[in-house]
Amino acid sequence: MSTDTSTSATTGSASPVQHLGMVGLGRMGGGMRDRLREAGLQVTGYDRDPDATDVDSLAALVEALPTPRAVWVMVPAGDVTHSVITELAGLLEEGDLVVDGGNSKWTADEEHAQQLAERGVRFVDCGVSGGVWGLEAGYGLMCGGAEDDVARMMPVFDALRPEGPREEGFVHAGIVGAGHYAKMVHNGIEYGLMQAYAEGFELLLAKGIVTDETGCFKAWTRGTVVRSWLLDLLVRALEEDPALEKLQGYVDDSGEGRWTVQEAVENAVPAPVMSAALFARFTSRQADSPAMKAVAALRNQFGGHAVHTAGPSSGGGDTPESELPETGDETDAAKAGPTSGSSDVDHSA
């Protein structure tokens, strides 16, 4: 694996990291360990899974590393990350360095930096993108921290990022917290892109004149302005399951989309696309959306529009005409005109 290290520099007393401790060897952490080893770096990993771990405890991991130590934490964000960093704070020594590469909220980074600083331990936060493909293609890295600490980690960053110019796969985004903040915004953008592709897929299906939806998306993967890696992955999914019949339309969120929208509100930044994409995920978790029931009820009340009564399938299937409400112009709702805000009733709303 070739890496561009022509612009690397190290300041301060600590040497560039050549032996890294890795905590968390799951789908991403395990792949990162393998990629680092392929690049010639030494990695000692710890995981609760006895089949994945190199040592049997965090204490053993710390003992196995040369000083000053560098430990990369790659565990689920929140309580698990906080617990690991708290334990490391009691094991590490002055001059050691901790990198949080999970999906932590950026506000937790300053807390962890201060917690470790009490022991003289340095801290860098690093947002990581690449998922299960990172081992082969490399990981996009966004880090925050002091210049000296980032420079010390450059051999690791260079080994993990994609091949090619450093600035196309790595950024020192700013101070502590900046890396995870940048990753948060990255994921908010990702939400919007995925939602746009998803809505396009449904629209292709809806008209009935397109007979090769997968082919349409595949034709967009070269030479069009909507090409992207996400589009490539959607084509891959459609080729495996053209109608996506094996999947349920239920979409989780990791939290970063919510944080992005919250930050947009706090900073008065208009973010309608990312907000809508987040709320669409919430809608996907409702088998029979209460909000959409309310919309149906309101349409019936002001315009006399037909509604589908809930049956055994909770709204699925066709409702017999005998069960539909009156929809002629003589219904009270249809004559509501001026009370609905206009003298002309819009029956298509």
> What is the dihedral sign for C-alpha 30, 35, 38, 41?
negative
* DSSP string covering 299-317: HHHHH----PPP-TTTT-S
Neighbouring C-alpha atoms within 13 Å toward the C-beta of 260? 28
Tell me which of 87, 110, 190, 263 is the catalytic residue: 190
**CA distances in angstroms from 326 to 311, 321, 322, listed in the order given:** 20, 10, 10
Spatial distance between the Cα atoms of 278 and 196, rounded to a whole number of angstroms: 12
Tell me which of 110, 111, 167, 183 is the catalytic residue: 183
224 φ/ψ angles, rounded to the nearest 5 degrees: -110, 160
CA angle 255, 256, 260 (to 5 degrees): 125
Known catalytic membership, residue 293? no
The 3-class secondary structure across 41-96, one letter per residue, is: CEEEEECCCCCCCCCCCHHHHHHHCCCCCEEEECCCCCHHHHHHHHHHHCCCCCCC
Q: Which residue type sits at 290?
A: P
> What is the dihedral sign for C-alpha 223, 226, 229, 230?
negative
**Sheet order of strands, 42-46 included:** 42-46, 19-23, 70-73, 97-100, 122-129, 140-144, 170-174
Known catalytic membership, residue 183? yes
Query: Could you identify the residue written with the tokens 């746009």?
Result: 196
Query: Could you identify the residue written with the tokens 């089949």?
Result: 51
Catalytic residues: 183, 190
